[in-house]
């Protein structure tokens, strides 16, 4: 078993309305920050996972994302998996 | 007739729902704690409004996997009527029992006020006491009630007659001005293809007596009672 550091980034699905992102973009503009476009607000979920291999970890995290961590109807997700140390 | 109201941690309309069933309808109502696996032989299940699990992760996402939801799913698969109101609608979508999803309101504002609803379908287990075209005045109270689905799915819902309620003006006109949250096609409530699982953002249980400002929600509960008496 190897311990993996996992990060899941969940963002509003591309192309669908993200009112939170629009509000943040408007606030940045009103603060005088120019050139800011396409702001999206999502969330970061970080955890450690004991798994047999990198592929095993990725497969399990993908299932977690589909069942709970993200809602594929409205959200995209991106998974990063990094081995920490062999147990 | 015995009807169950599921209480999740953070549910806050469970008593309103219980009261609408018990006093508004005169039915036997029971609370079902989310950690249980026993539906106590109820004839219908309500998932009430509120903020289950503090809306952590996404509204309804964690409640959708509460222990009792396994039984609620099996009950629905057997044809049992299940209604989700507000957070209950979000839970049904998160549980995959209804298509589409509910996102943050377009204007980002929490909307708490009466709205008008156009009854699109009066031949469901929950709307038989209304007539298609009726305009109801029922309150909403939500921050994440913007119904979203891909255009193909929306077309499918429309073609199957699964859109039950739409936000409209007092005169029954469905327009962007009457849409409080940016929901696709003004959708306020939908039903599954099987016709036994309904989700809606507005709160019929808050419109059951004149003191509450409207009695238009009573028909919802009476419709279910009439349906249960028939089956």
- Signed CA dihedral, B34, B35, B39, B40: sign only: negative
pLDDT at A17: 85
How far is B204 from B127, CA to CA, in rounded Å? 11
Task: With CB atoms and an 8 Å threshold, state whether A19 touches B108.
Answer: yes
Q: Which of B71, B94, B144, B205 is catalytic?
A: B205
Range of the domain at A13: 2-86
Count of structural domains, chain A: 1
**Residue A83 above 90 pLDDT?**
yes
**A87 has pLDDT over 60:** no
User: Is the pLDDT assigned to residue A79 strictly greater than 60?
Assistant: yes
**Encoded tokens for B125:** 């287990």
**8 Å CB contact of A20 and B108:** yes
Please write the tens of the pLDDT for every residue from B208-229.
Answer: 999 999 999 999 999 999 999 9
Q: Using 50, 70 and 90 to split pLDDT, how confident is the model at A86? A: low
| Per-residue pLDDT, A52 | 96
- For B30-44, write each residue's pLDDT tens digit: 999 999 999 999 999
| Mean pLDDT, residues A26-54 | 96
Option in B62, B93, B104 nearest A19 (CB):
B104
Contact B165, B200 (CB under 8 A): yes
Mutate to test the interface with B, among A73, A76, A77 (most CBs of B within 10 A): A73
Complex ipTM, two decimals? 0.87
Domain residue limits, chain B: 2-230
Q: Residue B137 above 70 pLDDT?
A: yes
Return the bridge partners of A2, or none: A51, A86
B13 is catalytic: no
- Measured between beta carbons, the chain B residues lying within 8 angstroms of A17 are 103, 106, 146, 182
Q: What is the pLDDT of residues B45-74, one digit of tens each?
A: 999 999 999 999 999 999 999 999 999 999
CA B54/CA B32 separation, integer angstroms: 19
Structure confidence at residue A15 (pLDDT): 87
Quick check: is B71 catalytic? no
**Chain A residues in contact with B100 (beta carbon < 8 A):** 73
Q: What pLDDT sits at residue B50?
A: 97
Question: Residue B203 catalytic?
Answer: yes
* CATH number for A17: 3.30.1280.10
Give CATH for domain B2-230. 3.40.50.880
Query: Residue with structure tokens 């009726």?
Result: B134
**Cα A65 from chain centroid (whole Å):** 9
* Residue from B34, B116, B142, B203 carrying the catalytic annotation: B203
Distances from the Cα of B44 to the Cα of B3, B60, B72, B148, B162, angstroms: 5, 20, 10, 27, 20
Rounded to 10 degrees, what is the CA torsion of B199, B203, B204, B208? Answer: 160
Tokens of B75: 């009950």
């Amino acid at each position: 078993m190897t311990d993996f550091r996992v990060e899941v980034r969940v963002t509003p699905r591309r192309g669908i309305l993200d009112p939170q992102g629009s509000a943040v973009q408007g606030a940045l503009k009103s603060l005088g920050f120019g050139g800011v476009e396409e702001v999206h607000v999502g969330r970061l979920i970080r955890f450690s996972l004991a798994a047999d291999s990198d592929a095993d970890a990725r497969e399990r995290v993908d299932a977690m994302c589909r069942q709970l961590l993200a809602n594929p109807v409205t959200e995209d997700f991106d998974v990063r998996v990094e081995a920490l140390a062999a147990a | 007739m015995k009807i169950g109201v599921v209480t999740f941690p953070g549910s806050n309309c469970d008593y309103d729902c219980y009261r609408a069933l018990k006093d508004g309808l005169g039915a036997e109502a029971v609370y079902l704690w989310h950690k249980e696996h026993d539906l106590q032989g109820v004839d219908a299940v309500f998932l009430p409004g509120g903020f289950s699990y503090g809306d952590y992760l996404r509204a309804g996402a964690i409640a959708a996997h509460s222990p009792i939801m396994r039984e609620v799913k099996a009950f629905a698969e057997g044809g049992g009527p299940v209604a989700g109101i507000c957070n209950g609608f979000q839970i049904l979508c998160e549980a995959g029992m209804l298509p589409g999803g509910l996102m943050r309101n377009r204007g980002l504002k929490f909307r708490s006020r009466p709205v008008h609803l156009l009854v699109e379908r009066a031949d469901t287990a929950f709307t038989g006491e209304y007539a298609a075209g009726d305009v109801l005045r029922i309150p909403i109270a939500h921050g994440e009630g913007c119904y979203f689905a891909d255009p193909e799915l929306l077309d499918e819902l429309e073609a199957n007659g699964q859109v039950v309620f739409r936000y409209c003006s007092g005169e029954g006109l469905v327009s962007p001005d009457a849409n409080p949250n940016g929901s696709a096609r003004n959708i306020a409530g939908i039903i599954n293809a099987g016709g036994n699982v309904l989700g809606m953002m507005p709160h019929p249980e808050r419109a059951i007596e004149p003191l509450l400002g409207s009695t238009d929600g009573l028909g919802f509960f009476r419709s279910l009672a009439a349906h249960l008496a028939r089956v």
